[in-house]
Amino acid sequence: DIQMTQSPSSLSASVGDRVTITCRASQSISSYLNWYQQKPGKAPKLLIYAASSLQSGVPSRFSGSGSGTDFTLTISSLQPEDFATYYCQQSYSTPRVTFGQGTRLEIK
Amino acid sequence: EVQLVESGGGLVQPGGSLRLSCAASGFTFSSYSMNWVRQAPGKGLEWVSYISSSSSTIYYADSVKGRFTISRDNAKNSLYLQMNSLRAEDTAVYYCAREPRSTSCVSFDYWGQGTLVTVSS
């Protein structure tokens, strides 16, 4: 299985901060990488697909980049509603996709 | 509006069985591949199973292969997961999730609210 490792595991930031979360794959996955946001007690929500494409309806302060093994999710200016847990997911080995362990974004 | 609503979760003893359902609405269910994804309490996400739009192709995670069966009824706009020989490690919230069409990078664009399965004596 392709292992996905996110860093950091948790992060404290303030409203208005620029935040970057990193996801590393155990092998090259080209651009087959998606990002999700999950709030407590809720289902995950797709933010970014194919490494850098913004899902419809997602604010433009979210962006994704990377290819191969290293990827980043950037939030340009944190809003109160952005405090959540973020997961990356590889679909190179579809349908047996795998997720990162998650990055918890907390209010400083 | 796309909606996915899971049901059927609950408390079951180890070795027992449970059948989860996912009722779909707001889109042409028969045109989409569907998946089950689970999340153990306080843990991350784990893909469980995939079924193509016509049920012709089915896959399972190694952790559930031989114990779980995915199926769908396109006439009823419903997805199912039959879970047998349940173990404590199957305890999780189970989500049904839709794959968008026409994309080479598989993602899950709509998710249900989840149904909790607890395996305990």
- Which DSSP string corresponds to A38-78? E-TTS--EEEEETTTEEPTT--TTEEEEEETTEEEEEESS-
The answer to whether A89 contacts B45, with C-beta atoms less than 8 Å apart, is yes
Confidence of residue B120 (pLDDT cuts 50, 70, 90): very high
DSSP string, chain B: --EEEEE--EEE-TT--EEEEEEEESS-GGGS-EEEEEE-TTS-EEEEEEE-TTS--EEE-TTTTTTEEEEEETTTTEEEEEE-S--GGG-EEEEEEEPPSS-SS----EE---EEEEE--
Average pLDDT over residues B48-54: 96
Min Cα separation B39/chain A (Å):
10
Mean residue pLDDT of chain B comes to: 96
**How far apart (Å, rounded) are the C-alpha atoms in residues B114 and A96?**
20
Residue whose token pair is 């796309």: B2
- A15 Cβ partners below 8 Å, 6+ apart? A78, A79, A80, A107
The answer to whether A99 contacts B45, with C-beta atoms less than 8 Å apart, is yes
Q: Is B63 left (phi over 0), alpha (psi -120 to 50) or beta?
A: alpha
Pair B108, A44: CB distance under 8 Å: yes
Facing residue for B50 by CB, picked from A44, A46, A95: A95
pLDDT of B103 strictly over 80: no
Of A1, A65, A92, the closest CA to residue B107 belongs to: A92
pLDDT of A68 strictly over 80: yes
- Tens digit of each residue's pLDDT (9 = 90 or more) over A89-102: 999 998 899 999 99
- B80 Cβ partners below 8 Å, 6+ apart? B19, B20, B21, B22, B70, B71, B72, B73
Residue B104: per-residue pLDDT? 80
- Tens digit of each residue's pLDDT (9 = 90 or more) over B69-85: 999 999 999 999 999 99
- Tens digit of each residue's pLDDT (9 = 90 or more) over A12-64: 999 999 999 999 999 999 999 999 999 999 999 999 999 999 999 999 999 99
pLDDT of B105 strictly over 90: no
The answer to whether B59 contacts A96, with C-beta atoms less than 8 Å apart, is yes
Average pLDDT over residues B56-77: 97
Facing residue for B106 by CB, picked from A43, A94, A101: A94
Min Cα separation B17/chain A (Å):
24
Tokens linked to A55? 């899902």
Residue A95: per-residue pLDDT? 87
Residue A5: per-residue pLDDT? 98
The answer to whether A99 contacts B47, with C-beta atoms less than 8 Å apart, is yes
Asked if A95 reaches chain B (Cβ–Cβ under 8 Å), the answer is yes
Residue B88: per-residue pLDDT? 98
Residue A47: per-residue pLDDT? 98
Chain A residues in contact with B61 (beta carbon < 8 A) = 96
The answer to whether A34 contacts B113, with C-beta atoms less than 8 Å apart, is no
